Amino acid sequence: MTNKYYEFFCPVKVVAGKAALEHIPFELNGLGAQRPMIITDKGVRAAGLLEPVITACEESELEIVSIYDDVPPDSSIAVVRDIAGIYRAEKCDSIIAVGGGSAIDTAKAVNILVSEGGDDIAAYSGAGIIKHPLKPFFVVPTTAGTGSEVTAVAVISDTEKSVKLPFTSSFLLPNAAIIDPRMTLTLPPHITAATAMDALTHATEAFTCIGKNPLSDAYATSAVKKISENLLSVMDNPKDADGRLELAQASTMAGIAFSNSMVGLVHALGHATGAICHLPHGLCMSLYLPYVLEYNLESIREPLGDLLLYLDGPEAYAATPANRRAEAAIAAIRRMRDALYKKCKLPRTLKETGQVEESQLEAIAALALDDGAIMFNPREARLEDAKAILKKAWA
């Protein structure tokens, strides 16, 4: 018997497809909640994405008691405290997060405070601190990339101490993720591209890093297939609701995959680049993915070769000799990046971003080595390895 072992956990009810938003009142009612608060950001409101949510609730006589629409891109403990105060003052009993990663993470943190009590969210930072189920919590993602609707983590900035506080608990998982194609129809092309590449990276790393397991593999491969089959067509036809739904589902599936098998060096480098150069996370993922796969190649040849089937289809897979499939998978990802560059100028190299100096690469490499994701990378990346990858990704 081998030492193989894994854990897999995803209790989130996924409500996906046409008129999914209209299920919110029924689902909330089923949890005994009648006074929901919406947590979102100004961009979501300005894009008109709140109206269908509010209308869906009002038609079922469910009043949205409060709407907080001022979540910043990098949410802080002060914002969380303020929102918790409003929640209590308005006597809300549940939370609906509508937005991307920041709004969802903020809502998770608010749910900790309003459920556990107190005003100091920092007291709950860390793993396994929360011991009880929290208030009813729904997530309506408006991007198709982060997978935050199915992850048990949140990150909030402590701006006074200049640190990011991580929160990890299965109780942070929402009761339901509402995947409605209306929520992503108006995403601008470059955000559609970057967030889809984020999801592709989640799935690819989940499938190739050391925490992979049979259940997360199933989600990861399905996510890769949906992205490779739909991303470029959605870029050409942004109002394609079916394609949008496929991408949104892929993001959720990739989220389920990576939250149960973790990610690797692409994320370690991406987190470091985001921290130092303030590049969007999805863009960082797209930048580093092929270079890290090349670095890991000999350790991941078999699973990466298997991914060719989902990246390029059965004909290409069958036509490629088994010992060349891993390289062909990387080539397929490169072709996808090239196509995205043509369609929306999504950068393929650090130089193309225009936001990174070559002199910053050393600091990015050093910071990446301290990132938790590096533990799950199949190869033991050292400083020199990280610098070599960054050099390749530079231009």
Locate tokens 């990015």: which residue?
364
Of 275 and 277, nearer to other proteins (C-beta) is: 275
Say whether residue 274 binds other proteins (CB under 8 A): no
φ, ψ (nearest 5 deg) of residue 383:
-55, -45
Question: Which residue from 261, 273, 286, 296 is in contact with other proteins, where contact means CB under 8 A?
Answer: 261
Question: Which residue from 61, 298, 315, 380 is in contact with other proteins, where contact means CB under 8 A?
Answer: 380
Distance between CA atoms of 270 and 334, rounded to whole angstroms? 18
Q: How many residues bind other proteins (CB under 8 A)?
A: 23
Which range binds other proteins by CB under 8 A, 24-32, 204-212, 220-228, 302-310? 204-212
Cβ(171)–Cβ(282) below 8 Å:
no
Say whether residue 123 binds other proteins (CB under 8 A): no
Q: Supply the minimum distance, in Å, between the C-beta of residue 113 and other proteins.
A: 22
Of 375 and 395, nearer to other proteins (C-beta) is: 375
Q: Supply the minimum distance, in Å, between the C-beta of residue 373 and other proteins.
A: 9
Distance between CA atoms of 191 and 35, rounded to whole angstroms? 33
Say whether residue 262 binds other proteins (CB under 8 A): yes
Q: Supply the minimum distance, in Å, between the C-beta of residue 143 and other proteins.
A: 26
Which range binds other proteins by CB under 8 A, 71-79, 92-100, 126-134, 188-196? 126-134
Question: Which residue from 64, 369, 391, 392 is in contact with other proteins, where contact means CB under 8 A?
Answer: 369
Say whether residue 362 binds other proteins (CB under 8 A): no
Say whether residue 11 binds other proteins (CB under 8 A): no
Say whether residue 388 binds other proteins (CB under 8 A): no
Question: Which residue from 103, 280, 371, 393 is in contact with other proteins, where contact means CB under 8 A?
Answer: 371
Q: Supply the minimum distance, in Å, between the C-beta of residue 232 and other proteins.
A: 33
Contacts of other proteins in 155-174 (CB under 8 A): 166
Distance between CA atoms of 245 and 180, rounded to whole angstroms? 7
Which range binds other proteins by CB under 8 A, 68-76, 109-117, 205-213, 216-224? 205-213
Structure tokens at 188: 């601008």
Q: What does the binding site for other proteins look like in residue numbers (CB under 8 A)?
A: 3, 5-7, 126-128, 166, 209-211, 261-262, 369-372, 374-376, 378-380
